[in-house]
Structure 1
């Protein structure tokens, strides 16, 4: 003996697994069975069966009532068979005939299209049969007997009135079922729409969170890579100068300590942002370039910073993009470039735009082609420039590596003051490629 399916035990859905039967819950099936039992008892009390056929009619309508939601097609068939037996044997109208209304209701509310149309047809055919049966059934054996007792006009009028009443009663039951079906469909549509809207909100929230995490990852890369490059350069310089210049060791250690503390603070803020959306993260601005250049120069990197044109106001996104691009490019120049040759940093201001160029020499150990390597540096710089409404190009040319970005400005206003400025008509340092990512 096979065990009872778990779905039957928990009561979600029951089905005979055959065509024409609906999936209904165990509770619904028990409720329908209870209503059918009550209907049978009430029928026995109101219309005590006078014959075996009366019992058959009552049982037939009770069965149709019991299975009406499990199988509307079967219920409609049982109702028709029982009604035909009742009319064939000339039984009077019984209380159990009310089950026909419930059957017509479910054919419109729950049945498939074919059974639903069969229910509508049953309304018309059933009304015709009921009108004829109710007109001729009460004690009349034939139409001639009816004519002997009443005029033909009265018989026709009685038939028409009965037909209209039957159509109204049967049609109302079917129409109410159709209205219930329409209401359920509309409710399911609203639920589906609400679910879709909620899923869209969840998806949008996930996209926003993912974008924020990617931005934080870029910031983390910029902070950690820059700080570690400075620490490594200072540590190596201190180790080489320890014997000849002990004072340089103290200066290097001080720089290492300051850089590490700043990096640790930035990393803590970034990690806090991963847990709290409203936490303030590090947002460097254009005025912080002075501190950045000074910090990189303290590592031994020779940076020549020039500015041309009249500085104008940049948006916060553009200022952050400029800072991060310069930070990444200088860090790469320190890690991969030739530290014995100068790095040229240029900010060229024009009407509505600022062009940032970082030009450094390629190091001796960086002559190998690394074009196949994909890291966070160049993609991160390009993405920052694009998000700020600008563009970025980075490529090696000869023995130098050039990073060139162009970002939009807002209004005319003085901003950062570089370490050294040159007149607009004085030529800047020649551009050449530098370090490889």
Structure 2
């Protein structure tokens, strides 16, 4: 796992500028204090500017990398604090960097660094309280029953101050995680919706193209054999091929427009388009027997009408491509709030009648999407597609 967090360039620049300004402030304040008050111990051993620089460097470095590497920042802050106490220096303005470090550790650190920041806030509060009472700058003070209340007061104040910085960072961390979760959820929902739309369009594309090409191929094959004896048959076949191709081209253009713009579904087939579908199949040379009783088609939901149309279209395409060339029977009835659909055709020898191919899978998906069910299987010498779809009346 990388120690460094990915940051934008401007974030790195801002952190470096803040750290540089903090260094200048510490050196200026500590230099003036050393000259005027003699705060450092031993103050006479070092020039004031060198002492200020030495104490400020680790804290400045901790501020500079607090977002880039919170764990490293916490380590540098501890190094600065231990150096300060080891040399016997009193608390100074440089210690303010600790609050910024604890905030960053809680807000941006990993799990281990996050909890290390909480432990550091508690341990640091205890250490600071003891140092202020027993450390070299205050060596005249001893830990007695009389000074114990002072120590406890310092302890509570130090833990509260350090813990407050860590807690604010933890709250910011929670807000960041919540925002990321919302964004991830929104992205996942968008991807799921896009995938559903792609699947729907791919299913429509398959139904339109497969059916149209099956009709075109059947017409072309029939016209090729019949043209020698009856040229009029060839002319009629060419007319059917042209009409089928134009219709398919229009449908494909509509689907491609949806892929590009996603501004609406456009016109979709309904029960009113079934006669044209049946005539198209008959024009391909299929002996089609149709038994349709839909009652009032307008009271059937449009989604169910579309599903029924596409299932019939795919079933007839399969009959045209894989059937034995015999009659094809279509039965479509609306009864007791349900739409019953059946397509029966002769089964050519050697054709796999199981669930295989995108067409059969697509028919099952269409039935399922509107709350129906579909079965496609061989029955003796026939291949039968049956579907039951909800056709509840709309108010």
Q: TM-score range by the shorter chain?
A: 0.7 to 0.9
Partner of 1:322: 308
> Residue 307 of structure 2 contacts residue 367 of structure 2 at CA under 8 Å; is this kept in 1?
yes
**Cα distance change, pair 50–377 in 1 and its aligned pair in 2 (3 A):** closer
**Cα distance change, pair 56–102 in 1 and its aligned pair in 2 (3 A):** farther
Task: Report the alpha carbon displacement of residue 296 of structure 1 after superposing the two structures with TM.
Answer: 0.9
**Cα distance change, pair 73–367 in 1 and its aligned pair in 2 (3 A):** same
Partner of 2:69: none
**Cα distance change, pair 64–278 in 1 and its aligned pair in 2 (3 A):** same
Q: 1-side partners of 2:158 and 2:394: how far apart?
A: 78
Task: Report the alpha carbon displacement of residue 121 of structure 1 after superposing the two structures with TM.
Answer: 1.1
Match of 1:63 among 29, 33, 54: 54
> Residue 223 of structure 1 contacts residue 267 of structure 1 at CA under 8 Å; is this kept in 2?
yes
**Cα distance change, pair 281–51 in 1 and its aligned pair in 2 (3 A):** closer
Q: 2-side partners of 1:49 and 1:412: how far apart?
A: 88
Partner of 2:85: 80
TM-score by length of 1: 0.71
Q: CA RMSD in A?
A: 3.7
Match of 2:266 among 276, 281, 284: 281
Does the alignment pair 1:219 with 2:201? no
Q: 1-side partners of 2:40 and 2:248: how far apart?
A: 99
Does the alignment pair 1:391 with 2:385? no
Partner of 2:96: 102
**Cα distance change, pair 103–283 in 1 and its aligned pair in 2 (3 A):** closer
Does the alignment pair 1:34 with 2:20? no
Task: Report the alpha carbon displacement of residue 61 of structure 1 after superposing the two structures with TM.
Answer: 6.7
Once the two structures are superposed, the pairs formed by residues 304-343 of structure 1 within 5 Å of their partners are 304-307=289-292, 310=295, 313-339=299-325, 341-343=326-328
SS at match of 2:284: coil
Partner of 2:352: 370
TM-score by length of 2: 0.78
Q: 2-side partners of 1:207 and 1:106: how far apart?
A: 41
Partner of 1:432: none
Does the alignment pair 1:299 with 2:284? yes
Q: 1-side partners of 2:236 and 2:286: how far apart?
A: 15
**Cα distance change, pair 79–100 in 1 and its aligned pair in 2 (3 A):** farther
Does the alignment pair 1:261 with 2:246? yes
**Which consecutive unaligned segments of at least 5 residues does structure 1 have?**
1-6, 14-23, 87-95, 138-142, 144-155, 414-437
Task: Report the alpha carbon displacement of residue 280 of structure 1 after superposing the two structures with TM.
Answer: 3.5
Q: 1-side partners of 2:375 and 2:196: how far apart?
A: 23
> Residue 341 of structure 2 contacts residue 388 of structure 2 at CA under 8 Å; is this kept in 1?
yes
Number of aligned positions between the proteins: 359
**Cα distance change, pair 241–294 in 1 and its aligned pair in 2 (3 A):** same
**Which consecutive unaligned segments of at least 5 residues does structure 2 have?**
1-5, 63-72, 106-115
SS at match of 2:262: coil
Greater CA radius of gyration, 1 or 2? Answer: 1
Higher normalized helix content (fraction of residues): 2
Which digits, 9 at most, give the CA deviation of each residue in 1:249-279, with x for residues without a partner?
2221111111111111111111111101114
Task: Report the alpha carbon displacement of residue 336 of structure 1 after superposing the two structures with TM.
Answer: 1.4
Does the alignment pair 1:404 with 2:393? no
